[in-house]
Amino acid sequence: MALDMVLSPLISVAVKNSADALVEQICGMWGMDENRKTLRRHLLAIQEKIEDAQERAVGSPAVKEWMQELEAAAHEAVDVLDEFQYEALRSEAISKQSSLSTKVIKGCFTHENPVTFRYKMSNKLIKVLCKIDKMVSEMNKFNLAPRDPPPTIDRETQSFVMESEVIGRECEREQIVSELLNPRCERDNISVLAIVGIGGMGKTTLAQLVFNDKRVKEHFQLSLWVCVSTDFNVINLIKSIIHVASGNASSSNKEVLQQELRNKLDKKRYLLVLDDVWNKEKKEWNELRTLLCSAAGAGSVIIVTTRDQDVASIMEAFPNHDLAKLTHDDSWRLFEKRAFSAWVGEKEEFREIGKTIAHKCGGLPLVVNAMAGLMGSKRELHDWRDILKSKVWDSVRSKDNVLPILKLSYNHLPSHMKQCFAFCAIFPQDYKMERETLVQLWMANDFIPTDGSMENLESKGRSIFNELHLRSFFQNIQKNETFGFLEITCQMHDLMHDLATEIVGNKCSDILEPNSFGSVQQEVHHLSVGDLANLAKFRGINNILKQFPNIHTCLIDETYGYKQKKKDFYLLKSCSLRALKCWFYNVPKEIGYMKHIRYLDLSCGRFTILPETISKLYNLQTLNLS
């Protein structure tokens, strides 16, 4: 994970926790308050100079290595302070219980011997204090200077941000819609049409415009959308098509699935969009096409979006629509709409710089939107001039190298927003992220600055979500109302996902295939696990905790149904998990000993009762059982 992303907010969390009233109270009771105060002073000293250290690390291997050690020490400090806070909350809960009960409550310690536990906590605090003290001593040798923190974003954001109007694709949309409705399509059982263009060109956006066009909806009896990405597995694609047609597939048997798909399509005239196709294996495509043709009504059409002309050729697509870059005028119209939508007053000087920046975006809608979102947050003319002079603009001349431009927008995010965005690399490409779940996971990992109010914390999280969408880090916002509850989802463009993955490095991973399990690095902090039901060597949550001792987030797919045994849970007592989604037949009592847990999703389990120990999760913010 990029140190400039994680260190500053991590130190801020440690500083905040070291001054927490509950931590101060319990440390005072246990005679450890002087050590707590010393730790806080050291952390404040580091916080003053961390911005300078982050800049110096670019050209100094020694400073960079120091920052890596500091990250580990700061995580340890946060964990120890978290334990003190947990014990204070536990003590408070016991006091409330004792006031309502005639039973004698024995102290405010855990199930361990009180003296032993107190001694252990004292040692933990001293150990982390020694590490932070060493970090301060080394920091002083670097002659780092105090820096003011970067300014925060002060623009207002709505509770929900609508997708901006698409600009510059009106002709292409009309042409494709005309081809779909053209009677010539009726002569063939099925035809394939390709939208081809480099990353960030707007292929998916154009396909969405066509897919949602009222004329197209009325013409086709069935409209289906499937995100393919790099996984062109015929069985998985059949399952996905069945899923979007009417629900989950009932089997994993290939012949059963093929018949189920034929029944769903049932010779209807359908439109199927296969978005973001990379596959160049003609055999797999022919197998899928034969199946789709066998159940297609006359005039059915498959639209393929791809970056590669070879993919379109293999899929025998005709016609091909090679997306052109936006014209200078269209780039400026799009930029102006996004950057100045909330501005009032004089902005002529900004407009002139904006026109130049829009031109430098190379006609790529994703880059235009990202830069417009960034510039819209800057209200000082010198900021606009500095960004205009940035050397990263040279990279846009290479059609396959837009990440530096997108990273320029990322670099201007506040540090806590950098964490929130990069955390999303835990999800696979094209994954639909639900806003409330995302905010809850950010909260669980202390990514959101807080003043102590849970309601305010959630509100800040939603504002971060909206800001990331305004800057085009998130896209495809959708609203769905179910049982009176509004669900808001989003996705990341694959280039934005590439950016997040590059930023987090080996600290964030998603496991989608059995053979990718071994590639996850031991220092991973955030992990999502796909469907691993057939992975013999994977045996429950304990195996993950054993292999990845520093893990803070673990999200296990609902289709993973391994029936864990009692011995599979012993590491829950000592883990640093902040967020856990796990599939249980029976929820183990050990789950109640996870002192750091904030987010717990047990919604996929088959249990009928929760253990009493769940009441001991005093730091818990979110419990999902539905």
Query: Does residue 66 surpass a pLDDT of 90?
Result: yes
For residue 375, give the 3-state DSSP assignment.
helix
* pLDDT greater than 80 at residue 151: no
Measured distance between the N- and C-terminal CA atoms of the chain, rounded to whole angstroms = 33
**What pLDDT score was predicted for residue 5?**
66
* Among 578, 580, 574, 576, CA closest to 600: 580
Asked which of 148-152, 508-512, 615-619 is least confident by mean pLDDT, the reply is 148-152
pLDDT of residue 522: 77
Q: Is residue 459 within a helix (H) or strand (E), and if so which, with residue range?
A: helix 454-470
Per-residue b or e along 270-284, where b marks 16 or more CB atoms closer than 10 Å to that residue's CB: bbbbbbbbebeeeee
Q: What is the mean pLDDT of residues 573-595?
A: 84
267, pLDDT greater than 60:
yes
pLDDT over 50 (residue 16):
yes
**Residue 424: what pLDDT?**
95
Measured between alpha carbons, how far is residue 312 from residues 181, 319, 396 in Å? Answer: 21, 9, 25
Considering only CA atoms, which of 160, 263, 164, 154 is closest in space to residue 205? 164
pLDDT in tens, 491-504: 999 899 999 998 88
Strands 433-434 and 485-491: antiparallel
Give the helix/strand (H/E) hosting 256: helix 254-265
Q: Which of 95, 91, 83 is nearest to 18 (CA)?
A: 83
Q: What is the pLDDT of residue 404?
A: 86
Give the pLDDT confidence score for residue 565 in this predicted structure: 61
- What per-residue confidence (pLDDT) applies to 371? 93
With bands split at pLDDT 50, 70 and 90, how would you rate the model's confidence at 385? Answer: very high
pLDDT at position 395 is: 63
Q: What is the pLDDT of residue 54?
A: 84
**Host H or E run for residue 489:** strand 485-491
Spatial distance between the Cα atoms of 197 and 189, rounded to a whole number of angstroms = 27
Per-residue CA distances from 360 to 64, 159, 386, 393 (Å): 33, 32, 14, 7
253 against 60, higher pLDDT: 60
pLDDT of 535 reads: 44
Average pLDDT estimate for 169-173: 91
Evaluate if residue 512 carries a pLDDT over 80: no
- Judge whether residue 572 has pLDDT over 70: yes
Amino acid at position 132, single letter: I
Looking at domain 170-322, its CATH architecture is 3-Layer(aba) Sandwich (3.40)
pLDDT, tens only, 425-434: 999 888 899 9
Per-residue pLDDT for 557 more than 90? no
294 vs 400, residue with greater confidence: 294
**Whole-number Å distance between alpha carbons of 199 and 201:** 6
Over range 376-394, report the average pLDDT. Answer: 88
The gap from C-alpha 410 to its chain's centroid, in whole angstroms, comes to 14
Percentages helix, strand, coil for the chain, rounded to the nearest 5?
A: 55, 10, 35
Residue 569 has pLDDT above 60, yes or no: yes
**Cα 408 to Cα 289: distance, rounded to the nearest angstrom:** 42
* Cβ atoms within 10 Å of 442's Cβ, excluding its own: 25
**pLDDT tens figures, 18-44:** 999 889 989 998 999 999 999 999 999
Would the pLDDT of 560 be above 60?
Answer: no
pLDDT of residue 353: 94
> Is the pLDDT score of 360 beyond 60?
yes
The CATH number corresponding to 512-624 among 3.40.50.300, 1.10.10.10, 3.30.750.24, 3.80.10.10 equals 3.80.10.10
Residue 190: pLDDT band with limits 50, 70, 90: confident
What rounded mean pLDDT belongs to the chain?
A: 84
The yes-or-no verdict on residue 334 having pLDDT over 80 is yes
| Residue 109 pLDDT class (50, 70, 90 cuts) | very low
CATH of domain 415-494: 1.10.10
User: Band of the pLDDT at 584, cuts 50, 70, 90?
Assistant: confident
Residues 572-610 as b/e (b if ≥16 CB within 10 A, e otherwise) read beebbbbbbbbbbeebbbbbbbbbbbbbbbbebbeeeeb
Contacts made by residues 596-604, CB under 8 angstroms, sequence distance 24+: 596/79, 596/82, 596/83, 596/86, 597/444, 598/443, 598/444, 598/445, 598/622, 599/440, 599/441, 599/443, 599/444, 600/624, 601/555, 603/558, 604/558
Residue in the block written with tokens 């959101």: 448
The 10s digit of each residue's pLDDT in 448-462 is 987 666 678 899 999
Q: pLDDT for 283-311, tens place per residue?
A: 889 999 999 998 898 889 999 999 988 88
Domains of the chain, by residue range, sit at: 3-141, 170-322, 328-393, 415-494, 512-624
pLDDT higher than threshold 50 for residue 162: no
Pairing label, strands 553-556, 526-529: parallel
Bridge partners of 98, per DSSP, are none
CA distance 404 to 163: 24
pLDDT surpasses 60 at 537: no
How many whole angstroms separate alpha carbon 618 and alpha carbon 28? 20
Range with the largest mean pLDDT of 154-168, 237-251, 612-626: 612-626
The count of residues in the chain is: 626
Q: Given this model, what pLDDT does residue 34 score? A: 96
